[in-house]
Amino acid sequence: MGTMMSFSQSRSNHYMSEDELRKVCPAAFKTAPTNPNVSAKYSYASTMDVVRDMERLGWKPVAAKQARERKNSSGIRSFHMIAFENPNVAITKGGETEAMVRVILTNSHDGFNSFKFMCGLFRFVCSNGLVVSDMEFANISIRHINYDFNELKVVVGDMIERIPMVVAQMNAMTRVSLTDEQKVELARETYRIRKGVEDGERVEVDDETIRDILTPVRDEDKADDLWTIFNLCQEKMIRGGFKVVGKNGKTRKQRSITSIKKDIDFNAQLWQVASRFIPVSAAA
C-alpha cells in the first residue's frame, strides 16, 4: 500500500503546555517589542496570540526552540520557533503512521520580522524533523500589524491543501532506486549543503566521510530507494556524529546542527536537491 494522507485519529507526540513552552521558549511570551528602537506606531502581536489561535484550529505545540543570544547581545532579536501538530492530520503507509504533518512558526519580537509559517514532517522512525522545500511550499507570512485569526485560518488551510503534493513526492522517492554512484552523489550534496558551499560548487570530502554518512543507522535504513537514502543523509547531518577527515589528516566527529535558521535552511535545500534525483517517469 502506498503512502497517503490520513485525516483520522493518528499517533501523536506529547503536546506542550504553556508552562513547558515558557521554560524552553520564553521569548514567545513577550508582551512588548524587544527592540526599544521600534517606532511608537509599531503594532505588536505576541507569538502566544498565534499559539492560542492555532490550538483553536486543532494544532498544538509539540516542539519549541529559542535562538541563543550572542555574548554582549542586547537580547533585542529573540528569534524563536514553535512546531505544531494536529492529531488528525498524518501521513500513513500500510495503515501505520509514517510521519506527522507539522506547521512550523518562526518569529522574533524585534519589529523586523513577520510571523512566518512553513510546512514540515516528523518521521517516527528517526524522530527527526524535516522542513519541506520552499519550492513546493512558498513561505507564508502574516504581519504583526492587524493580526487576525481569520487570516491565520486561511494560511493553515492553504498549507494543508498542499500536503498531497508532499505525499506524491514521497511516493516518487520510494519508487527510485539509487545506484552506488548516485548514493555517493547525494551524500556529497548533503555534505555540501551542511558546509554552506554554494550549489554547483564541488565540496572537498574524503571517501571515509562518504562511507560514514551512508552507513545505515538501523535496519529500516538498509534499502536503496531515494526516500530511505535521503532520510539517512538528513539524519546524519542534523544529528552529527559522523567522522570527518580534516585538511591536517586528523579525524573528528561532526557536530549536530543547533541553529534554528541553519536547521530550517538545510532541510529545505536538501528536499530540493533530493527531488532532482526523481526521473520524470517516477514522478508521474
| pLDDT per 10-residue tile (average), the chain, 284 residues | 43 81 91 62 75 96 82 61 91 80 84 79 70 62 81 90 86 94 95 87 85 89 92 89 72 83 88 90 64
Give the pLDDT of residue 183. 97
Terminal Cα distance for the chain, rounded = 17
Give the pLDDT of residue 69. 63
What nine digits make up the cell of 60?
A: 498544538
Amino acid at 138: A
Give the pLDDT of residue 71. 47
Give the pLDDT of residue 41. 54
Give the pLDDT of residue 152. 92
Give the pLDDT of residue 178. 97
24: left (phi over 0), alpha (psi -120 to 50) or beta: alpha
Give the pLDDT of residue 242. 78
82: left (phi over 0), alpha (psi -120 to 50) or beta: beta
- The pTM for the full model equals 0.81
Give the 3-state secondary structure of the chain: CCEEEECCCCCCCCCCCHHHHHHHCHHHHCCCCCCCCCCCCCCCCCHHHHHHHHHHCCCEEEEEEECCCCCCCCCCCCCEEEEEEEEEEEEEECCEEEEEEEEEEEECCCCCCCEEEEEEEEECCCCEEEECCCCCCCCEEECCCCCCHHHHHHHHHHHHHHHHHHHHHHHHHHCCECCHHHHHHHHHHHHHHHHCCCCCCCCCCCHHHHHHHHCCCCHHHCCCEHHHHHHHHHHHHHHCCCEEECCCCCEEECCCCCCHHHHHHHHHHHHHHHHCCCCHHHHC
Q: Is residue 192 exposed (0-12), middle (13-18) or buried (19+ Cβ within 10 Å)? A: buried
Q: Is residue 193 exposed (0-12), middle (13-18) or buried (19+ Cβ within 10 Å)? A: buried
Give the pLDDT of residue 184. 96
Q: What are the CB-based long-range contacts (under 8 Å, 24+) for 29-35?
A: 30/78, 30/109, 32/109, 33/109, 33/110, 33/111, 34/75, 34/76, 34/77, 34/78, 34/108, 34/109, 34/110, 35/76, 35/77, 35/109, 35/110, 35/111, 35/112
Dihedral angle, C-alpha 23, 24, 28, 30, nearest 10 °: 50
